[in-house]
Structure 1
Amino acid sequence: MPERRIDAIDRKILAELQRDGRITIQDLAGRVGLSSSPALRRIRMLEEAGILRGYVALVDQAKVGLPISVFASVKLERQREEELDRFAEAVARWPEVVECYLMTGRHDYLVRVVVPDLAAYERFLKDKLTRLDGVGSIESSFALGQVKYTNALPV
């Protein structure tokens, strides 16, 4: 499917949906200056183009018993495709990993892990991360506080 260009109205729709994914079509249409049918049609086109990938509920990490965020910088022994793929497939299966990025620089991956306490992170390291073939080194940094968090893109 060819890449769909987004215009100013699409950007307004995306901004509103990022603010409130449960907004009614009528309210959304009013905020972006359309009637309901064209607004719904644009949303469906954004979904079909893969620009809108889904809708989620944001859950407070601490209030569900996962107050600890750890950023683990991981260096692999080798950066061959099969090792990179093996690592990516493993972390995709681990529920404690909420974000993982392939990086440039000294480390190959930056992984964000959420856990209830330090003992749980130790278990994660011992039972999962250090047992993965090809992991050369792990450097953990614990978040002391969250200064900013958003999942809204500046469209």
Structure 2
Amino acid sequence: MNAINLDPIDHKILKLLTDNARLAIADISEQVNLSATPVIRRIKRLEDMGVITGYHAHTSARSLGNTLSVFVAVSMDKHTAERFGEFENHIKTFDEVVSCSLVTGRSEDYLLKVVVRDMSHYEEFLLHRLSKIDGVSQLHTSFELREVFSRGAV
């Protein structure tokens, strides 16, 4: 897939919406020096092109009682589309998994970010759910000390 050509105004609109998706059209218009109608048209075009894929509430894992963030590298026993598809479908059902990426350049196949209440929650998740998925052959855990930042692509 080729990158979509966007002008500086499109990029500024994306940055503003990435920082605050609830920003009023009037505020966006003022910051990009366009009236509301062209801003609305540009946002609609960005949505139609698949640049803007949705609007989400960012939640605080800590405020929800999830104080432990964990990166889990997962190795699979077979490298087939079917095995990977089964794993991906299964992993989507776990609320604790906030991201899952198929990776290369490592001995593992997937890198997960998991958020849990505490170590006993992680132990239950690891031993009784994640390790029970067919095809999972090896798991390597790294605990997040502190998230420096997280943002959407702009």
What TM-score does the superposition give when structure 2 sets the normalisation length? Answer: 0.93
- Look up the SS of the partner of 2:92 in the other structure: helix
Residue aligning to 2:141: 140
1:74–1:109 Cα contact (<8 Å) kept: yes
2:49 is aligned with 1:49: yes
Aligned to 1:103: 103
Structure 1 gap ranges (5+): none
Moved over 2 A (4+): 2-5
How far apart, in 1, do the equivalents of 2:22 and 2:59 lie?
15
Tell me how large the CA RMSD over aligned residues is.
1.5
For residues 74-121 of structure 1, the C-alpha deviation after alignment (integer angstroms, 9 at most, x for no partner) is 100111111111111111111110011101121100011100011111
Tell me which residue corresponds to 1:7: 7
Distance 1:100 1:149 in 2: 18
SS in 2 for 1:64: coil
Q: Distance in 2 between matches of 1:96 and 1:19?
A: 25
The one-letter amino acid paired with 1:75 is: S
> TM-score, with normalisation over the residues of structure 1?
0.93
Q: Secondary structure at the match of 2:63?
A: helix
> Which ranges of structure 2 fall in alignment gaps of 5 or more residues?
none
Give percent identity, aligned residues only.
Answer: 36
Task: Output the CA distance in 1 between the equivalents of 2:146 and 2:47.
Answer: 35
